[in-house]
Amino acid sequence: MRGRSDYWFHLPPAQIAQVPVEDRDASRLLIVAPDGPLCDRHFSDIVAFIPEDAVLVVNDVRVIPARLRTVKPTGGAVELLFLEPERDAEKARPGCGSETWRCLARSSKALRPGMDLRVRDGNGEVVTVLHGRDSDATIVVALPQPALDLLDRYGEVPLPPYIARPGGPDRFDRERYQTVYADRPGAVAAPTAGLHFTDNILDRLRGRGVTIAPLTLHVGLGTFAPMRVEAIDDHVMHEERYAISESSARAINRALAEKRPVIAVGTTCVRALESAAARSDIQDAQTGPGLIPAGPGATDLFIRPGYRFRVVDRLITNFHLPESTLLMLVCALGGYDRLMAAYRHAVAAGYRFFSYGDAMLVWRS
């Protein structure tokens, strides 16, 4: 059985994209079909590879400026990454603030419950620590106002640590680290496969008869938390919330019933779709047995080689970090040997990696 280290590959630091290409669809695109050679194209060519009867599933979540810089009473700096509203009613404790949120905290020393953290450059706003670090290294804080209002005024775009911004993210990142169809705030990282799409590409796809089906998955720790164990089966995924609309569920279920391709834009869509299918026992009045129920859900699904896909036929995705759960998911879809060979090809061919990097289209093996 393969372990985490079997998903390592050498990546020159110079190939980690620090800024996006000027035009979204000018990124490169690696075609990884089940048979035949790897094919180097540009993302503007993607329309030719999407069948006219396909359903293209996109994650319409909007990235919030989730990184907040604060200061302890002693003057020490504390960086908070807001993950999601606290869902444990006991830990939320009504009355302790307008809202309570779970955060990752970067601090030189432990943060004590009851400690007030002053928002740096804020207008006297403070956030109060309610609970110190849990087993997942997160804390719970209470806020003096709605979180999205506070973050919109003082927060920063939560760019990944491998993107160097000595002065912090700029106004350009606020726009460019969103998809053109971003609509529902709540993510702390972008569904980066969607960053390549333009309104023009989406219009061309619709003009050919492709159905665009949005869902919402709030990207959080389940997507970007690193794996720290060698034995893959010992890794536990963090839960992420998603929602699928009635119209999107209907379109996907109809495609499945008619054996038409369902193409996911990004690993977040894969996890939401496969999780919804796994818990579904509904009967859809229009399509017969429905695999995808509409409505909210949560997923801690860890997809790795050996997983049997029920929904997704193809995947548009970026190039992921070595030894990451995202790379394992892509290998599960396209086959370990073929995908690792594709990554070696991408390195040799000078593809740009990670969030602001290039893309690949992978068929299910």
pLDDT in tens, 158-196: 999 999 988 888 888 989 999 999 999 999 999 999 999
> Residue 314 burial (CB < 10 Å; 0-12/13-18/19+)?
buried
Mean pLDDT on 331-346: 98
> Region 76-89: what's the mean pLDDT?
87
Asked if the model's pLDDT at residue 257 lies above 90, the reply is yes
Give me the pLDDT at residue 243, please: 97
Is pLDDT above 60 for 95? no
d(CA 249, CA 245): 6
- Write the class of the CATH domain 4-63+174-363: alpha beta
The b/e string for 126-154 (b: 16+ C-beta within 10 A; e otherwise) is bbbbbbeeeeeebbbbbbbeebbebbeeb
How far from each other are the two terminal CA atoms of the chain, in whole angstroms? Answer: 19
pLDDT band at 312 (very low <50, low <70, confident <90, very high): very high
Token pair 């970090």 in the structure block, residue: 321
pLDDT of residue 283: 44
- What's the mean pLDDT in 50-61? 98
Average pLDDT of 246-257?
96
287 pLDDT exceeds 60?
Answer: no
What pLDDT score was predicted for residue 137? 78
Instruction: Give me the CATH code for the 67-154 domain, please.
Output: 2.40.10
What does the block give as tokens for 272? Answer: 């939401």
Q: What is the mean pLDDT of residues 132-157?
A: 88
According to the model, what pLDDT value does residue 91 have? 60
Contact 219, 191 (CB under 8 A): yes
Phi, then psi, of 201 in degrees rounded to 5: -65, -45
**Measured between alpha carbons, how far is 305 from 181 in angstroms, rounded to an integer?**
31
pLDDT of amino acid 90: 56
Question: Which of 73-77, 199-203, 208-212, 333-337 shows the lowest mean pLDDT across its residues?
Answer: 73-77
Q: Which residue has the tokens 């799409």?
A: 197
The answer to whether residue 78 scores a pLDDT higher than 80 is yes
State how far the Cα of 31 lies from the Cα of 4, in Å rounded to an integer: 25
Report phi then psi at 128, rounded to 5. Answer: -110, 130
Quick one: pLDDT at residue 45? 98
Q: What is the mean predicted confidence (pLDDT) over 50-78?
A: 96
Chain mean pLDDT for the chain: 92
- Please give the residue that has the higher pLDDT: either 260 or 282: 260
Q: Is the pLDDT of residue 50 over 60?
A: yes
Burial of 229 (0-12, 13-18, 19+ CB in 10 A): exposed
The domains of the chain are located at 4-63+174-363, 67-154
pLDDT for 306 beyond 80: yes
User: What pLDDT was estimated at residue 289?
Assistant: 52
Q: List pLDDT tens digits, range 198-251.
A: 999 999 999 999 999 999 999 988 788 889 999 999 999 989 999 999 999 999
The span from the CA of 171 to the CA of 97, in Å, is: 30
**pLDDT grade, residue 15 (50/70/90)?**
very high
Separation of alpha carbons 19 and 172, rounded Å: 10
Q: Does the structure show a pLDDT above 80 at 108?
A: yes
Q: Is pLDDT of 89 > 90?
A: no
What DSSP assignment string belongs to 161-228?
A: TTS--TT---HHHHHHTS-TT--EEEESS--GGGGG--HHHHHHHHHTTPEEEEEEE---HHHHPPP-
Looking at residue 286, its pLDDT comes to 44
Classify the C-alpha dihedral 11-13-15-21 as positive or negative.
positive
Q: Which one, of 163, 188, 160, 192, lies nearest residue 179 by Cα? A: 192
The SS3 of residue 280 is coil
Beta-carbon contacts of residue 6 (< 8 Å; ≥ 6 apart): 336
Q: Which DSSP category does 45 fall into? A: G
Neighbours of 284 (CB within 10 A): 19
Predicted TM-score (pTM) of the model is 0.93
What is the bridge-based pairing of β-strands 211-217 and 240-244?
antiparallel
Quote the pLDDT of residue 121: 84
